A and B are shown apart, each in its own frame.
Chain A
């Protein structure tokens, strides 16, 4: 199988990832706990090591604020419901205002829309330009005295367009609004800096460009979110310590980490992070951008194809969406799989608002997302297959 669906989950993983998981599962896979037996302590130590690696990768300063999550959706729910949880619980005179964008994945759009439908928040959705970029100034103009949170994706999962997160973060900081950045498409491939981008809540998945297994992800909770108690925990339960406390212990990361974490997966994620750091992220990004540029250059001028978003691949991560005249995207996806053994992702990509903006709703588009391990030969086979289908 030729795999061009890395924006969903990266594949293959470097062998060190499965090796680390197998080793941990065979040797140390006890329930982590700070005050337990030696295996429990070893498991806890592994978690702490990976927390530290991730914190350093994103230039955070306190690994205790690096919270493990099941995936980026889990992390975003933790952030959004953590900040706005009190608004859901009680009807307030000053309904909090939240700003988001048309580029968002359903992991952001759905929790926010559900709160807006329940009249717990007021929601503003900022439009993008035709190339797929948000103007930070539009966000500035949307801020009101009631604005409490800005939630934005760092890169559209449909277009791959990388947003000016630092500019939006600076505006949020200046106006004393919390800034939550969804780095589902960028963590592990585009430099993400918690202080440099003024990020208050950084959500990321483990299974995409960080090359970890599915079932891993995290949320970094910045200092402006305050001490435990300011955020509402969206999962409560056992924390492997402070069991005498009748509610969640007021201590990060445990405050937000109820339940046994995915230790085996996190061991793999740690190996993935090591691999990413050792292998020159800038070179990996350039490799993926070159593949996307090739697709844009080859098909943009061809009437049988529509290529969405900016023609400049340097403003994207390794993601591009296209359509072929006369075909439903799902047909193209099925033909590539069935006749050419190539994996891509057709449909709406869980991002209905940007597809509405592009005029591709409800059928969507065919998303091609190369990864670190795709070769020139695979790209050539993909392009040839698309040519044959277009006929």
Chain B
């Protein structure tokens, strides 16, 4: 634990006035290491708030580069970042250095997948979800349960948002209980609630359905609230429900989920099968020879097929879409670059217009959803 000088605490005076935090809580924040997985709309708000709150060390992972259409909601970035074509993680690091030079930032400009996520999350006190796809969320859930790291899920599309804090249950074989279990605050994991990730193409994405800037900020700030509670040891204050809302329809729902752990036999947190971390559902990528194209193999659950009609409808706004019973082909212009996306019924795809696996994955996540 690094020694913190009293003068370093001054800037957090207003935060330390809060009875739940105080100087002790502030010191905990300043000694904390936080994994912000994904640095888009959610991730920039999270990184911004947590850097200002004085979290000692932020680990930020994102594979994407900043585009003009990001600026509507991704608050750490500006037009000069677009001009300089900066990776999101790097631009965030530079911005945070200006906001709070006390914060150490480690960046990973890479796709987060089962081969590297444990390295990224190593020694972190909490994982915050700034993702755009379910496959990676289930991966984070596996890491959280396996290594007993709290994980705050957040998601937003259109005018809706959803967030939920996972304080993982220990396994009977674990030597000791976690502080949140001692406080009686453990919660079901993501797979207790959603057994499977939805198949690709079944859910709207921000790139197909749009997203309202403020709603993402609301979700991310809720995530930060829970993160600050957890990092300062206020486990019993953590909201135990799955919160969802629609800021356009003016609805707010809180789903009580605690029983999901008790009654279920969750593959992840009860049976300790970390299928996503083992790469069982991992999408593979292959650069197709000579074609400036990348093939993605997405493993759908047995017997599942993509619904071309629904996907065609959603992609129609982005360019020409043609489909027959074997394949769907869509022309997509993303950040000024032209791509041709070909989907097959088993979820595999060919993204033409790039040789970069990460770019192809990004296009798939944005326009098909994973």
Contacts and interface: CB of A to CB of B under 8 A. Distances in A.
B350 interface: yes
B129 interface: no
Interface in B339-357: 342, 344-346, 348, 350
Interface residues of A, number: 18
A182 to B, nearest CB: 20
Contacts of B327: 331, 334-335
A14 B289 CA distance: 32
A350 B289 CA distance: 8
A337 B204 CA distance: 28
A339 B345 contact: yes
Contacts of A339: 325-326, 344-345
A391 B322 CA distance: 15
Nearest to A106: B289
A362 interface: yes
A363 B290 contact: yes
B324 interface: yes
Contact of B326 (A328, A338, A347): A338
B293 interface: yes
B295 interface: yes
B291 A362 contact: yes
B291 A330 contact: yes
Contacts, number: 49
- Chain B's interface size range is 10 to 19
B288 interface: yes
A389 interface: yes
Contacts of B350: 328, 330-331, 334
Interface string B7-39: 000000000000000000000000000000000
A299 B48 CA distance: 62
Nearest to B290: A362
B290 A338 contact: no
B365 to A, nearest CB: 20
A105 to B, nearest CB: 13
A338 B345 CA distance: 7
Nearest to B325: A339
Nearest to B352: A328
Interface in B266-317: 288-293, 295
Which 8 pairs between the two chains have the least Cβ-Cβ distance?
Answer: A362-B290, A338-B344, A335-B326, A338-B346, A348-B289, A347-B289, A334-B344, A348-B290
7 contacts: A328-B350, A334-B342, A338-B326, A348-B289, A362-B290, A363-B290, A363-B291
Given A334-B295, A338-B344, A338-B345, 16 more contacts: A328-B291, A328-B350, A331-B350, A334-B327, A338-B348, A339-B325, A339-B344, A348-B289, A348-B290, A362-B289, A362-B290, A362-B292, A363-B290, A364-B289, A364-B290, A391-B324
